[in-house]
Structure formats: C-alpha cells, structure tokens
Amino acid sequence: MAHVPFSGGVHAPGRARIAARTLREDRWWLQPLVTFVCFSAWLLYGLVRASLQKDYFVADYGYLTPFASPCLSTSCVPGSTHFGTPFGEWPALIPFAALTLPFLLLFRLTCYYYRKAYYRSFWMSPPACAVPEAHVSYSGETRFPLIAQNLHRYFFYAAVVISLINTYDVLHAFRGKDGGFGLGLGTLILLANVVLLWCYTLGCHSCRNIIGGRLNHFSKHPLRYKAWGWVGKLNARHMTFAWITLGSLVVTDAYIALVSSGTIGDFRFIN
C-alpha cells in the first residue's frame, strides 16, 4: 500500500479550517501518562527482579516467585526446581525463567488491550480520541514489525502452558515447615495471583475466537456457545484483569522477596 507524505490530518484540504489541532478541554493526557508511568515502572521492576537471581524462593513453605518459574538449572536454590534440572550452571543476570518470560511478555505485548494502551501512551497513535497523533504517516498493523501482532494466539497457547506451570507452583506452596500440609499468607497470595492470571489468560480475545467466536452457527454447537459466553464474560473485563495481574505479580514477587530475605516472616494459618 503506497503512502503519500503527510496530508495534514484535520488540516487536510476541504475540511473545516480550525487552527487548533484539538479542541478537547478535558485532561485527555492524564490516562496515557499514567499508563506510560505504570508500564515503565512495571517493566523496570520485572527486569531488575528477574535478573537479580536473588530472594526468589522460600524453602520452608515452597513459595516460588512467578518471575523465576520454572527454575530449571543447577544454579537454582534446592527445592525450587519443581520440574528438575535439565540445565547446568545458569549465567549471571539471565533470569531463571528465561525460557518462559519472553513468551509471557510477547503474550502481553500482542494482547489487544495492551496494544490499545501502549499505542496510545508510548506511540501516541493517537494519544487520545480526537487528539491528533504525532506521526506523519501511518500503516497500522499491515507491515513488519507490527504485522506480527497477528501471532497473538500462539503466545496465548504458550501462556496457557505457563499458567499451568504457575498453578503447579501454587500446589507446592501448600506446605508447612515440617513438610506436611501448610497454609500461610504467601500461599493465599500465590493462589490469588494464579486465579487472576487464569482470568486474564482465558479472557483473551484469541481464546474467545478459538472457543467459539469463529463459529457462525452457534445453534449447532451448544457447548462451544456456552463456553464462548463464559469467556465473553471474562473478556469484557480483560482490561481490568490486565491491570490487576500486573499488580498481583508484583505483590506476589515482592512478598516472596521480603519473606525469603528474612525482612518479614510469613503469616501462617496452618503449620
């Protein structure tokens, strides 16, 4: 598709000649600014925590942070390797979860909600509705690299596998100091986090399409229609879960870091 140079947007010939590029008087800039700050802070936190390779596991209660799961190397703290140690010594600064974190990041990066959020806040395309974007030409998601947004569903499949791994990690967190059943505040935080991660993952637009959205005859597929309805309910709150899970991941990781480093003790309900 050929693109001619900047054509003036709202100042294009024939349109009402209004000097101001936007006449919006509300604080339209606030939402993209907040999104920009929060996403940047989250990425910085995740990068630092995942690279540190420190305070990611509480051996007494089996708490493993999602930022280091699955831990598959001999460098991992004993007990944190829920899936064995197929890899030898792990290089410094490379996250233990280097096999899964890129897929999780790509799942969120290509997510339809996050796309809206960062196109607005990072790329200003557009920063807000009826506010002109900052770019002279626009080809949307028709060319490389943005055409790769169409791969979202593959990262969705990967995210399902990773959510299963996180769920398995939670089962390990139901452990007391003596090795028997136990329940602490950390267990509940890990459990809440994984439930929220499932709500976000299964509410994905690709999941909605795969489950039933691609059908034209719902009446011939009553079970898939039912499942499509359930996914639709989660999908309607996809933005909410996208934000909540960013927070729940940080809370989970920070709690485990604090307990693991001995800064605070875990509040135990049972054993």
Partner 1 sequence: MSYDAKFKVWRGDADGGTLEDYTVEVNEGEVVLDIIHRLQATQTPDLAVRWNCKAGKCGSCSAEINGKPRLLCMTRMSTFTEEQTITVTPLRTFPVMRDLVTDVSFNYQKAREVQAFSPPADLQPGEYRMQQVDVERSQEFRKCIECFLCQDVCHVVRDHEDNKPAFAGPRFLMRVAELDMHPLDTADRRPAAREEHGLGMCNITKCCTEVCPEHIKITDNALIPLKERVVDRHYDPVVWLGNKIRRRGA
Helix (H, G, I), strand (E, B) or coil at 171: helix
Q: Closest separation between CB of residue 63 and partner 1, Å?
A: 36
Footprint of partner 1 on 86-125 (CB under 8 A): 112, 115-116, 119-120, 125
> Is residue 17 a contact residue for partner 1 (CB under 8 A)?
yes
- Among 60-68, 87-95, 130-138, 186-194, which window interacts with partner 1 (CB under 8 A)? 130-138
Q: Closest separation between CB of residue 254 and partner 1, Å?
A: 32
Q: What x-and-dash track marks residues 223-262 binding partner 1 by CB under 8 A?
A: --x---------xx--------------------------
Q: Closest separation between CB of residue 243 and partner 1, Å?
A: 15
Beta bridge partners of 184: 268
**CB contact set of 39 (below 8 Å; sequence gap of 6+):** 117, 118, 121, 122
Q: Closest separation between CB of residue 224 and partner 1, Å?
A: 11
Cα 203 to Cα 196: distance, rounded to the nearest angstrom: 10
Positive or negative: CA dihedral 172, 178, 181, 182? negative
CB nearer to partner 1: give 33 or 147.
Answer: 147
Beta bridge partners of 183: 270
Q: In this structure, are residues 62 and 175 in contact, taking their beta carbons and an 8 Å threshold? A: yes
User: How big is the site for partner 1, counted in residues (CB under 8 A)?
Assistant: 56
> Is residue 147 a contact residue for partner 1 (CB under 8 A)?
yes
Q: Closest separation between CB of residue 165 and partner 1, Å?
A: 22
In the list 66, 126, 184, 186, the residue contacting partner 1 (rule: CB under 8 A) is 126
CA distances from 191 to 20, 142, 184, 233, 259 (A): 51, 40, 11, 21, 17
Q: Closest separation between CB of residue 107 and partner 1, Å?
A: 15
Q: What x-and-dash track marks residues 21-40 binding partner 1 by CB under 8 A?
A: -xxxxx--------------
Question: Strand 183-184 and strand 63-64: pairing?
Answer: unpaired
In the list 8, 78, 86, 145, the residue contacting partner 1 (rule: CB under 8 A) is 8
Give the number of C-alpha atoms closer than 13 A to the C-alpha of residue 45, restricted to the C-beta side: 16
- Would you state the torsion angle of the CA atoms of residues 29, 34, 37, 43, taken in this order, to the nearest 10 degrees? -130
